[in-house]
């Protein structure tokens, strides 16, 4: 199995402090690393702000996509999203863009179980209705929103890898049914692209506080984001999520959504051996999709 990708450039508090001093000196303040993902690091800046900065070159363009798309999303969404309040530009100190965003307090959706996430079903369904507008000019993403057949080689490889430690017949069946389902023929709709629980913030009552990390924002088949039905929820909450969607998905879209859940869960499962948080998300999704331990 694979581990979290290595950073192309080490990013620490000292580097971020230098960038702020050079480009936004009025925002100087104490910095603390609060999140270290596959693509980006997040540093809390004082009490009210955070700095989101790429750790790999591949993620630099994702930051640009967020800077481009999030202001319009924030303007129409009823749920807070991390639209940039300041933009960092490439410089001699750091070659890639970075963002200063509002700090959002809440409970990490990956830190609680499916039962605690069940209250997200209604508000997350409504949020996706607000998000999924036609967006033919959104950033292109080769691994999200595309026809599922485009992902067949990668997903097949991951399923073969997982077969050494899991019974994957349920995954394989869900994947075949998704591939056989009619393709999306509507306009390309705006997508979050990576809508798993780790990108959802809960409030103290279990409601949806915010939706985070739009680095994979793109447009295409709405089934991509509907995969969160298996990534985030169990059976009862999954049905409440489905009925909360302003436009109920047809049978073909729901089959493709389950296929997207297979694609995303298998990616998490084969690249999270050193990341217990993400490995836990993979175990939940695989269980919902019908795998069992050997």
Average pLDDT for 42-48: 97
Q: What is the pLDDT of residue 293?
A: 38
Residue 292: band (very low, low, confident or very high) from pLDDT cuts 50, 70, 90: very low
Q: Select the CATH number that applies to the domain covering 13-102 from these four: 3.30.200.20, 3.30.1360.120, 1.10.3210.10, 3.40.50.11030.
A: 3.30.200.20
How many Å apart are CA 22 and CA 18, to the nearest integer?
A: 6
Q: Which residues pair with 219 in a beta bridge?
A: 190
Residue 135: band (very low, low, confident or very high) from pLDDT cuts 50, 70, 90: very high
Is a pLDDT exceeding 90 seen at residue 4?
no
Tell me whether domains 13-102 and 107-293 share a fold: no
How many Å apart are CA 216 and CA 195, to the nearest integer?
A: 9
How many Å apart are CA 156 and CA 163, to the nearest integer?
A: 11
Is a pLDDT exceeding 90 seen at residue 176?
yes
Q: What is the pLDDT of residue 290?
A: 86
Is a pLDDT exceeding 50 seen at residue 99?
yes
Q: For the chain, which residues make up each domain, given as ranges?
A: 13-102, 107-293
Average pLDDT across the chain, whole number: 94
CATH class assigned to 107-293: alpha beta
Is a pLDDT exceeding 70 seen at residue 11?
yes
Q: What is the pLDDT of residue 291?
A: 58
Residue predicted with more confidence, 292 or 158: 158
How many Å apart are CA 201 and CA 292, to the nearest integer?
A: 29
Average pLDDT for 227-239: 97
Q: What is the pLDDT of residue 3?
A: 63
How many Å apart are CA 90 and CA 83, to the nearest integer?
A: 19
Between CA 137 and CA 140, with CA 138 as vertex, the angle to 5 degrees is 105
Q: What is the pLDDT of residue 1?
A: 44
Average pLDDT for 160-188: 95
Range in 113-127, 146-160, 279-293 with the lowest mean pLDDT: 279-293
Question: Which residues, 6+ apart, have CB-to-CB distance to 149 below 8 Å?
Answer: 179
- Work out whether strand 107-108 and strand 200-202 pair parallel, antiparallel, or are unpaired: antiparallel
Contact 220, 191 (CB under 8 A): yes
Is a pLDDT exceeding 90 seen at residue 277?
no
How many Å apart are CA 199 and CA 288, to the nearest integer?
A: 19
Is a pLDDT exceeding 60 seen at residue 141?
yes
At 282, which helix (H) or strand (E)?
helix 276-289
Q: What is the pLDDT of residue 116?
A: 97
Residue 294: band (very low, low, confident or very high) from pLDDT cuts 50, 70, 90: very low
Q: What is the DSSP string of 265-279?
A: HHHHHTS-TT-HHHH
| DSSP single-letter state for residue 223 | H
Average pLDDT for 144-169: 95
């Amino acid at each position: 199995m694979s581990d979290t990708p290595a950073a192309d450039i080490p990013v620490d508090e000292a580097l971020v402090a230098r960038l702020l001093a050079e480009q936004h000196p009025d925002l100087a303040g104490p910095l603390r690393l609060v999140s270290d993902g596959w693509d980006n690091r997040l540093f809390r800046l004082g009490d009210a702000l955070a700095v989101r900065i790429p750790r790999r070159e591949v993620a630099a363009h994702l930051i640009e996509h967020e800077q481009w798309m999030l202001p319009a999303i924030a303007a129409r969404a009823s749920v807070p999203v991390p639209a940039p309040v300041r933009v960092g530009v490439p410089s001699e100190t750091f070659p890639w863009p970075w963002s200063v965003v509002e700090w959002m307090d809440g409970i990490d959706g990956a830190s609680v179980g499916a039962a605690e996430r069940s209250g997200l079903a209604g508000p997350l369904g409504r949020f996706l209705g607000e998000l999924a507008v036609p967006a033919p000019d959104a950033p292109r993403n080769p691994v999200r929103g595309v026809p599922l057949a485009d992902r067949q080689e990668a997903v097949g490889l991951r399923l073969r890898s997982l077969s050494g430690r899991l019974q994957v017949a349920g995954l394989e069946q869900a994947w075949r049914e998704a591939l056989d389902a009619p393709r999306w023929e509507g306009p390309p709709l705006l997508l979050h692209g990576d809508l798993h629980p780790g990108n959802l913030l809960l409030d103290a009552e279990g409601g949806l506080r915010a939706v985070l990390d739009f680095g994979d924002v793109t447009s295409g088949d709405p089934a991509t984001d509907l995969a969160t039905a298996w990534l985030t929820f169990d059976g009862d909450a999954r049905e409440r999520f489905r009925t909360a969607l302003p436009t109920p998905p047809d049978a073909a879209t729901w089959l493709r959504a389950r296929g997207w859940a297979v694609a995303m869960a298998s990616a998490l499962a084969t690249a999270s051996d050193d990341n217990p948080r993400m490995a836990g998300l993979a175990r939940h999704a695989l269980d919902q999709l019908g795998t069992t331990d050997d």
